[in-house]
Amino acid sequence: MQPRVYDHLRDSAQLSRRPALRRSIPLALVSGLAGLLVLTGPAGPASAAGPSSASVALTASAPCKPGSGPKLRGEDFTGGAALPDDLRCADLTNAKLDEVDFTQKDLSGALLHNASMKEADFTQAKLEYADLTGADLSKADLGQMHAKHAVLRDAVLTDAQGGQAEFPHADLTGAIMARAELTQADLTDATLVDADLNEATLGQVEGRNADFTRAKMREVKLGQAKLQFAVFKGANLTEAEFTQAELRGADLHGATVQGASFVQADEVNLTGALGEPKDVPDDAVGSTSDLPGTGTGTDTGTDTGTDVGGGVLPGTTGGRGGLGLVLVLLSGLGLSVTLILWGLSYRRRVERAARFAAARRTAEEDVIRLGEEIDALDFDYKVNHMTTGSVDQDWRRALDAYEAAKQALNTAQDVPQLGGVASAVYHGRDALGRVRSRMG
């Protein structure tokens, strides 16, 4: 399984993990050149008797145009009919594929519009950039399936088993995923607008930047899910479980959270949410918890009043009583000044720490976006690279800038030091812009 470029930033507190940049491009070039050498050799072109194994391997590694593979539209494979070995970019529109075994098959770029694949086995299958619009995958086994940038609009995944399945950047708009089991699945940047996830299990799911707008998510289980900056606008989260979920920046405006549980959830913001959730953390934004420090102020006032009322006002002892009152007042004044100075110093430290934390979050977001931009361009770059056979120096500059930005983020201790992050991100995006312009 090839790691994504932004895997190491899934947890903002674990930025020390080694980056997983896609540095396989030069290796692919070397492999391609080696294959060409095998094909031509010192004696000239390969024999016309058939393609060599190196030729087949090189062809299989290159991207293809969706639908340009085998033409299998409407075919019925439920009776045991054999499928071609190479299904990359195959046209399987309206095909009948119920209970077919696709284990470790490569269906990248395949067209599977309205195909019937009930109870099919897609364990470790590769469906990157495949189009499964309207397909029926009810009770299918999607374990560890790779479906980056796949399109599953209005697809049916009811009761599907998809543990560790990968759907980064996938379009699941309107998909029916009721009771689906997607533990540890990757839904980073996925679109699930109007999707039906009622009673689905998404424990430990990677859902950063995922869009669940208006999704039906009654009783969905999201324990330990990573949902930073996910969007739940208008979603029905009635009795959903967010136990220990990470919700920094998640948008719950208009979401129904009646009976939803947020036990030990991190950075919960219920602003604009509807209904009465339960087990909401004390530090949740929009909750009814008291402000920090209220109890301390009240206790101090009560103690002062008791001391004055009980021990000083009986001043009938003449001068000695007056002197005691003066000493008490001076002591109280000194204590008050000390507390004020300490409070001002503490407030400055807190404000300084808050400014750095906010600036660091912003810088971290910039680094993550740069990584995602590199990841999103990776496929097109591979296509262009296979065509031209040359290494783009700006692509290498973008990767190096990403590395430099991460290093600067890890070592920054104050706001000025975060300037190195901004500079590296700027140069990385500038290099990516030149790569895009050359690729048209």
The whole-angstrom separation of Cα 255 and Cα 186 is: 23
Evaluate the CA torsion angle 54, 55, 58, 61 in order and state its sign.
negative
DSSP assignment, residue 416? G
pLDDT at residue 81 in the model:
85
Low-confidence ranges of the chain (pLDDT < 70): 1-63, 287-322, 383, 385-391, 440
Report the 3 state secondary structure along 191-233: ECCCCECCCCECCCCECCCCECCCCECCCCECCCCECCCCECC
What's the predicted TM-score (pTM) here? 0.59
CB count in 10 Å sphere of residue 319: 8
Euclidean distance between CA atoms 207 and 245, whole angstroms: 10
Residue 306 DSSP SS3: helix
pLDDT tens for 381-421 read: 776 766 666 667 888 899 999 999 988 888 888 888 888 89
In our burial notation (b when 16+ CB lie closer than 10 A, e otherwise), range 198-212 reads bbbbbbbbbbbbbbb
Q: What is the pLDDT of residue 439?
A: 78
Q: Which CA distances in Å does 227 have to 187, 197, 232, 267?
A: 9, 15, 10, 11
Contacts of 280 (CB under 8 A, 6+ apart): 262, 268, 270, 287
**Given this model, what pLDDT does residue 20 score?**
38
Name the residue type at position 96. K
Report the pLDDT value the prediction gives residue 390, as an integer from 0 to 100: 64
The confidence score (pLDDT) of residue 321 equals 60
Are the CB atoms for 261 and 281 separated by under 8 Å? no
